[in-house]
A = this chain, B = another copy of it.
């Protein structure tokens, strides 16, 4: 533990959160924050320059690229840094894309400083840390695969929750309206409902989509 320090990049659009992460992590002698960025694009660019071991990545940025896309871009480069997602939300709509994009860990912003530091060290070693609530839902998903919604189904349902019609949905996703209905029909049967509004209500209650 007395070797070279772990070099960190902070990617978050909130200055206060960046300052907080820096304050919390720089009290640890083996961690050093070498850069901060306020957008996902900057995170990808800075990570490509090298000299970073772990990126602490937010998922929601005000505009432009989101954190999951940035994570995918960063982890796609061999020899690049690990990405530890640190966000406020813990719904499937957030966690699944991030994990798929290659995130090494997934923490929530209410994490204690010591858990945060521990997760950074774990990520630097290439191993995974998950927030308890995230781990819970992943376990349930593996235990009861019948109930779980697929990525596509979550994507469709999220747009339904935004108020889009089947027709608008089809245009947005480059599908036929019939395909949209197929997806929704399967969503309804999995959630035990029979209308789009009931599906949105049920999925919101289960934390499958973000409110």
Contact = CB atoms under 8 A, between A and B. Distances in A.
A199 B86 CA distance: 32
Q: Which of A20, A110, A200 has the most CB of B within 10 A?
A: A20
Contact of A23 (B22, B88, B201): B22
Interface string A1-23: 00000000000011111111111
Nearest to A160: B197
B110 A14 contact: yes
A201 B204 CA distance: 12
Contacts of A196: 197
A49 interface: no
A24 interface: yes
A195 interface: yes
Q: How many of chain A's residues touch chain B, expressed as a range? A: 35 or more
A136 to B, nearest CB: 16
A interface: dominant SS: helix
A185 interface: no
A38 to B, nearest CB: 9
Interface in A88-124: 88, 109-113, 116
Contacts of A15: 20, 24, 110-113
A138 interface: no
A88 B19 CA distance: 16
Contacts of A161: 197, 200-201
A126 interface: no
Interface in A23-46: 23-24
A186 interface: no
Given A16-B113, A204-B211, 6 more contacts: A15-B24, A17-B17, A19-B20, A20-B21, A164-B198, A200-B200
Interface of A: 13-24, 62, 86, 88, 109-113, 116, 160-165, 193, 195-202, 204, 211
Q: 4 closest Cβ contacts across the A-B interface? A: A20-B20, A163-B198, A163-B201, A16-B20
22 contacts: A14-B20, A15-B24, A15-B110, A15-B111, A15-B112, A15-B113, A16-B21, A16-B86, A17-B17, A19-B19, A19-B20, A19-B113, A20-B21, A20-B23, A23-B23, A161-B200, A162-B198, A163-B198, A163-B202, A164-B198, A204-B211, A211-B211
